Amino acid sequence: MDKDRTDKVPELTYEAAVSRLEEIVTLLERGEAPLDESMDLFREGVRLSSFCSGKLKEMKEEMVKLVDADGSVAPIDQES
Amino acid sequence: MNPVFSVTELNRAVNDRLSQDPVLGKVRVRGEVSGLKTYPSGHSYFTLKDDTASVSCVLFRQPAGQSSVKLTEGMQVLLFARTNLFDKNGRFQLIVDGVQEEGLGDLYRRYLDLKARLSEQGLFDQERKLPLPFIPDRIVAITSEAGAVIRDIIHVLRRRFPGIRLILIPVPVQGAGAEHEIAAAIQLANQLSLGDVIIVGRGGGSLEDLQPFNEEVTALAIAASRIPVISAVGHETDYTIADFAADLRAPTPSAAAELAVPVKDDLLLRAEQLGAACELAMVRRLELAASRLSALATRPVLVRPTAFLDGHQARIQLFSHRLLSAWKEAQIQAQRRVEDRRAAMEAALVKVFSDRTLALARTAQTLEALSPLAVLSRGYSLVTDPEGRSISRARDLAKGDALELVFQDGRVGGQVTRPLVHADSQEEGKTNG
C-alpha cells in the first residue's frame, strides 16, 4: 500500500499535491481519524510536502527565442 | 546667393512666415484623433490623421480646459488651429485653439463593428475561456523581440518564479501585416506545443499602433488556440479585440507575467508551512491519543482491578451484619418464649400440685372417716385370727380358736371359750378377754 503511494506521488501535479496536502492537514488537525490512519496520513503529508518543495526547486531556467518555424531556438539577447 | 541661416534662424523664419500666411496661418482641419496623450501639466498631444497622412497637434491646457469637447482616441474632429514649426526640432505641428467633434473615427468604428460581430459569434463567451495552468511548464511569449515588453515579462517571471522556462516567438507588433504574423505565431505555438500558456502583447500606443490586435485574424487565432492565451496589450485603459478573445486579459505585459506564474517563494513557504502543519497536527494527534490513554490508565478499574468488588463487599458486609443481628434477635425472642413457657409451666405445675394437695387432704379426711381405727376409737374393736385375717362372723369361730382383738390402742390375744349360740344372744358371743 505504502509502495503504491510512493509510486503515485511523482505523477501528481503540484496543484493536486498541494490540495491533497491541505486536505491531510485538515484531517489531522481535526484529530478524528484513527491513530493508524493518522499515521498513514502523516507519512503521505510529509511525502507530499517534500514533493511540492522539490518540484518547485527542481525547475531549470531556460529562456530562449524561437528562430525558426521548425522549433529551433536561440538564447534571448537580453541587451536588445 | 541665398543667405545662410542658422537652424534656429531658419525655424524661426519659417514659423514667422507660417503665422503670417493669410491662408495657412490659421486653419480648420478635419481628421481623426490618434495617439492622444494628456500630461499632468494639462497639455495634450496627439496626431490628427486621415487615411493617408497625419500631423502632430498640441492642445495647451487653457484651451483644453475651456473646450466643452473632451478629446478621445479615434474621435473624428474639426480643429481650429494655428500652423507652427516647433523651434527646437523643426517639426511641423498644429497648435489647437478649438475642437469640434464630428463623430467616431473610421478605425474606431471598425473596431466597434468587429467587436459586435465577434461577440455575436460567441467568440468572447466565458465558456470558451481556458483555465490557466497553476504553474506553467513553459511560457510562450509572442511579442516584439526588442523593446520593453519582453524585458518586463522576463523581469517579472524571474522575480516571481526563478527557474521558469520561457520561449519567445518574435513578431512585429505594429504596422501593416503584423496581425498575420501574430496569428501565425499563435498557430505555430499550438502546432509545436511550445508551452502551456501564451502571453501575446505589446506596449501601449495609439489606436492604429494597436491595430494588429484589433484585427479579426488575430482574434480568431487567439480564440482557436488550445493553449490558454493571456493578452497583454497597451496600458490599462485600452481594450483590444484580442483582449476580449483571450482567455485572460492583462492590463500590461508585466501584469500578464504576474498572472502567468505564482510567486515561487510563496509556494515554497506554503509547502513548508503545510509540512510543518502536518507534523504539528500529527504531534497533537499523538498527544491526544496519549492523554486519552493516560486518562484510561488512571481509571480506578485499571489502577485497582478489584475495585469493582468493593461495592459488593460492602453490601455483603451489611447483609451479614444484619443477618447476625437478626439471628441474635431471633435467639433472644426464642429464649424469651422458652422462658415464658417454663414460667407458665411452672405456674401450672404449682397449681396442679396445690390442687392435688388439697384433694389429697380431702381424701385423707375421707379415708380417715372410713378407717377402722376411727371406728375403734369410737369404742369398737376388730377380731382377727392370729394371722391377722379379719373375722366378721361368729360362726367362723369354734371353741378353742385363737383370736386377736384389736383395740384402738393395741391388740390382745384370746380364745373362744364358747362357740356360737344364737345371734340374739350376743352377750354370750362375747369374747372372754
What is the per-residue pLDDT across A18-37, written as a single tens digit (0 to 9) for each? Answer: 889 888 888 888 878 888 88
Pairwise CA distance, residues B396 & B88, whole Å: 217
Whether residue A69 and residue B188 make contact (CB cut-off 8 A), yes or no, is yes
Pairwise CA distance, residues B97 & B261, whole Å: 49
Number of H helices, E strands in chain A: 3, 2
pLDDT at B237: 62
Whether residue A49 and residue B271 make contact (CB cut-off 8 A), yes or no, is yes
Whether residue B274 and residue A22 make contact (CB cut-off 8 A), yes or no, is yes
E strand or H helix at A14: helix A14-30
Whether residue B164 and residue A59 make contact (CB cut-off 8 A), yes or no, is yes
In this complex, the residue of A52, A59, A60 whose CB is nearest that of residue B271 is A52
pLDDT at B261: 92
Whether residue A31 and residue B284 make contact (CB cut-off 8 A), yes or no, is yes
The C-alpha cell 491531510 sits at A24
**Overall residue count recorded for chain B in this entry:** 433
CB B143 within 8 A of CB B203: no
In this complex, the residue of B134, B164, B275 whose CB is nearest that of residue A14 is B134
pLDDT at B67: 55
Distances (CA, A) of B148 to B142, B192, B252: 13, 27, 11
Pairwise CA distance, residues B233 & B240, whole Å: 7
The C-alpha cell 390442687 sits at B355
Higher-confidence residue: B290 or A7? B290
- Strand B229-233 vs strand B75-86: parallel, antiparallel, or unpaired? unpaired
Amino acid code (one letter) for B277: A
pLDDT at A68: 76
Pairwise CA distance, residues A75 & B408, whole Å: 183
- Cross-strand partners of B98: B80
How many C-beta atoms surround the C-beta of residue B245 within 10 A?
27
Please report the residues numbered 239 through 268 in chain B whose beta carbons come closer than 8 angstroms to any beta carbon of chain A.
Answer: 264, 267-268
For chain A, give the percent of residues with pLDDT over 90: 0
pLDDT at A65: 84
- Mean pLDDT of each 10-residue bin along chain B, 433 residues long: 86 89 88 89 89 90 62 86 89 89 75 90 92 92 90 93 92 90 95 94 83 92 96 76 93 92 90 88 85 80 72 85 91 91 88 84 78 74 83 82 84 84 53 47
In this complex, the residue of B170, B188, B268 whose CB is nearest that of residue A65 is B170
pLDDT at B246: 95
Pairwise CA distance, residues B215 & B110, whole Å: 9
- Strand B91-104 vs strand B54-59: parallel, antiparallel, or unpaired? parallel
pLDDT at B247: 95
CA of A28 to nearest chain B CA: how many angstroms apart?
Answer: 5
Whether residue B170 and residue A66 make contact (CB cut-off 8 A), yes or no, is yes
Whether residue B135 and residue A15 make contact (CB cut-off 8 A), yes or no, is yes
Is the pTM higher than 0.80? no
Nearest CA in chain B to A80: B146
3 state DSSP class of A6: helix
Q: From A58, A59, A54, A37, select the one nearest B282 (Cα to Cα).
A: A37
- Which spans in B192-306 are helix H? 216-224, 241-245, 253-260, 264-297, 300-303
In this complex, the residue of B164, B275, B285 whose CB is nearest that of residue A46 is B275
3 state DSSP class of B309: helix
Taking contacts as CB-CB distances below 8 angstroms, the residues of chain A near B281 are 25, 28-29, 31, 42
In sequence order, the 6+-apart residues with CB closer than 8 A to the CB of B240 are B210, B213, B214, B231, B233, B234
How many beta-carbon pairs below 8 A join chains A and B?
119
Q: What is the pLDDT of residues B115-125, one digit of tens each?
A: 999 999 999 99
pLDDT at B358: 85
Pairwise CA distance, residues B225 & B187, whole Å: 7
